[in-house]
């Protein structure tokens, strides 16, 4: 899902599931000469760029639920697209450059080689960042000289990017200065009955429903995907990163994760406190789907909503 060229071939090889994602917010400004192309089931945004000598470049923004593989997995897949041999995790760690995406630190990889199919000189810029319940990938790939020409424009695009949910949820307390939108159709289709104290919000990318807690200082989100989307450990560590906590190992899960009886097949609950926010999250498997319920925000607000949240998770049908 991180690919710009040879996307279909790579998808078959990696067996990546396809999800519907909303189009990016129009507030993200485009560099001069970038042509917007139609988005699709995999790409949140898609652009074509021409170099001074006619070289072709493509820029994509892709969001994947969960951790979407390790950094080494993704970088080595990118290296293969430009005809480079895979590297070890230690080698890859030293190749990254620090940039910002939407004002938040991210890691950028710059790769140059030859496309295996055409033997053309090809360059790629690829950055990733965790946001919400997804991992986002920003990529520019194409003619070597054209990518070099557009490098600064790409970095500026990343720096000024606006996530689709930026207007309704921030890294701090949720915004409450605008009236809540009407409930999304997803909540009715999924037969969810949210507590009357919660205010329905417009769901963000990869979300099936979203609510604001009674005091406006915590957000509740529900996301449903096919498959396990990485397993318990990968999702717990992704959530810990959102809370500015260090990752844990499989052995640590027993002290962090508890069973949530009657919620679903092997339902799990985790409660974690970060330096700024607290999160209570549930992973619920039902048939071939996995549902993620998350309550996140001010620590006292999350504490006040926890029991109501657990009751909601147990009663929700997905």
- Say if CB 127 and CB 101 are below 8 A apart: yes
Asked whether residue 1 is domain-assigned, the answer is no
Same-domain pairing of 92 and 197: no
> Which of 142, 159, 176 is the last residue before a domain boundary?
159
3-state secondary structure of 135: strand
How large is the average pLDDT for residues 159-174?
Answer: 60
Asked whether residue 262 is domain-assigned, the answer is yes
How large is the average pLDDT for residues 223-240?
Answer: 78
Distance between CA 136 and CA 176 in Å, rounded?
A: 26
Same-domain pairing of 142 and 11: yes
Model-level pTM? 0.51
Asked whether residue 271 is domain-assigned, the answer is yes
Same-domain pairing of 205 and 152: no
How large is the average pLDDT for residues 115-124?
Answer: 88
Is pLDDT at 201 greater than 90 in this prediction?
no
Distance between CA 288 and CA 225 in Å, rounded?
A: 9
Name residue 283's beta-bridge partners.
Answer: 268, 292
Sequence-distant (≥ 6) Cβ neighbours of residue 139 within 8 angstroms: 2, 3, 4, 59, 60, 62, 124, 125, 126, 127
Same-domain pairing of 239 and 128: no
308 CB neighbour count, 10 Å cutoff: 17
Is pLDDT at 139 greater than 90 in this prediction?
yes
pLDDT score recorded for residue 68: 65
Same-domain pairing of 137 and 267: no
Domain that holds residue 57: 7-159
Domain CATH number, residue 267: 3.40.1000.10
Distance between CA 187 and CA 185 in Å, rounded?
A: 5
- pLDDT tens profile 4-46: 334 334 333 333 344 444 444 444 678 988 999 876 556 788 8
pLDDT score recorded for residue 28: 61
How large is the average pLDDT for residues 65-92?
Answer: 85
Same-domain pairing of 256 and 291: yes
How large is the average pLDDT for residues 250-258?
Answer: 91
Q: Point out the least confidently predicted range of 77-91, 210-224, 239-253, 261-275.
A: 261-275
Sequence-distant (≥ 6) Cβ neighbours of residue 255 within 8 angstroms: none
Is pLDDT at 111 greater than 80 in this prediction?
yes
Same-domain pairing of 61 and 199: no
Asked whether residue 243 is domain-assigned, the answer is yes
> Which of 159, 194, 229 is the last residue before a domain boundary?
159
How large is the average pLDDT for residues 195-214?
Answer: 84
Is pLDDT at 269 greater than 50 in this prediction?
yes
- Say if CB 236 and CB 226 are below 8 A apart: no
Same-domain pairing of 152 and 227: no
Asked whether residue 281 is domain-assigned, the answer is yes
pLDDT score recorded for residue 184: 37
How large is the average pLDDT for residues 291-305?
Answer: 93
As a whole-number percent, the residues of the chain with pLDDT over 90 amount to 39
Give the highest mean pLDDT range of 120-124, 131-135, 188-192, 220-224.
120-124
- The residue with greater pLDDT, 188 or 88, is 88
Distance between CA 293 and CA 242 in Å, rounded?
A: 15
Give the CA angle between residues 157, 43, 207 to the nearest 5°.
100
> Which of 124, 159, 194 is the last residue before a domain boundary?
159
Residue where the block lists tokens 């041999």: 85
Q: Point out the least confidently predicted range of 11-15, 93-97, 121-125, 268-272.
A: 11-15
Asked whether residue 290 is domain-assigned, the answer is yes
Same-domain pairing of 121 and 209: no
Residue 148: closest CA among 57, 31, 77, 35:
57
- pLDDT tens profile 272-281: 999 989 999 9
Is pLDDT at 185 greater than 70 in this prediction?
no
Asked whether residue 172 is domain-assigned, the answer is no
Asked whether residue 173 is domain-assigned, the answer is no
Same-domain pairing of 131 and 213: no
Is pLDDT at 56 greater than 70 in this prediction?
yes
pLDDT score recorded for residue 153: 96
Please report which confidence band the pLDDT of residue 180 belongs to, taking 50, 70 and 90 as the band edges.
very low
**Strand 35-36 relative to strand 218-226, pairing:** unpaired
Domain CATH number, residue 38: 2.60.120
pLDDT score recorded for residue 285: 83
Mean pLDDT of the chain: 79
Total structural domains within the chain = 2
Q: Which two tokens stand for residue 234?
A: 């990968």
- Say if CB 76 and CB 86 are below 8 A apart: yes
As a whole-number percent, the residues of the chain with pLDDT over 70 amount to 75
The DSSP symbol for 250 reads G
Same-domain pairing of 56 and 133: yes
pLDDT score recorded for residue 281: 94
Same-domain pairing of 22 and 59: yes
């Amino acid at each position: 899902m991180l690919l710009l060229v040879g996307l279909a071939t790579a998808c078959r090889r990696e067996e990546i599931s396809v999800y519907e994602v909303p189009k990016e917010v129009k507030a993200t400004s485009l560099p001069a000469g970038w042509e917007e192309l139609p988005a699709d089931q995999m790409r949140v945004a898609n652009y074509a760029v021409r170099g001074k000598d006619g070289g072709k470049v493509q820029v994509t923004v892709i969001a994947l639920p969960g951790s979407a593989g390790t950094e080494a997995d993704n970088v080595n897949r990118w290296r293969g697209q430009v005809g480079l041999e895979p590297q070890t995790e230690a080698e890859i760690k030293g190749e990254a450059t620090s940039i910002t995406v939407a004002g938040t630190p991210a890691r950028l990889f710059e790769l140059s080689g030859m496309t295996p199919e055409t033997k053309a000189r090809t360059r790629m810029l690829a950055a990733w960042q965790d946001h919400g319940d997804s991992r986002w990938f920003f990529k520019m790939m194409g003619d070597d000289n054209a990518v070099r020409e557009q490098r600064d424009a790409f970095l500026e695009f990343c720096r000024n990017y606006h996530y689709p949910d930026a207007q309704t949820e921030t890294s701090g307390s949720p915004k409450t200065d605008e009236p809540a939108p009407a409930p999304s159709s997803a909540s009715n289709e999924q037969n969810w009955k949210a507590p009357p104290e919660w205010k329905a919000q417009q769901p963000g990318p990869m979300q099936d429903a979203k609510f604001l807690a009674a005091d406006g200082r915590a957000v509740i989100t529900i996301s449903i995907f096919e498959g396990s989307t990485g397993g318990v450990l990968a999702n717990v560590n992704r959530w810990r990163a959102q809370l500015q906590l260090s990752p844990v190992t499989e052995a640590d899960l027993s002290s962090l994760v508890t069973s949530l009886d009657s919620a679903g097949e092997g339902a799990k609950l985790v409660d974690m406190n970060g330096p700024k926010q607290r999160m209570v999250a549930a992973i619920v498997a039902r048939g071939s789907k996995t549902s993620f319920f998350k309550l996140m925000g001010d620590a006292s607000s999350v504490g006040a909503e926890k029991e109501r949240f657990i009751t909601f998770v147990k009663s929700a049908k997905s």
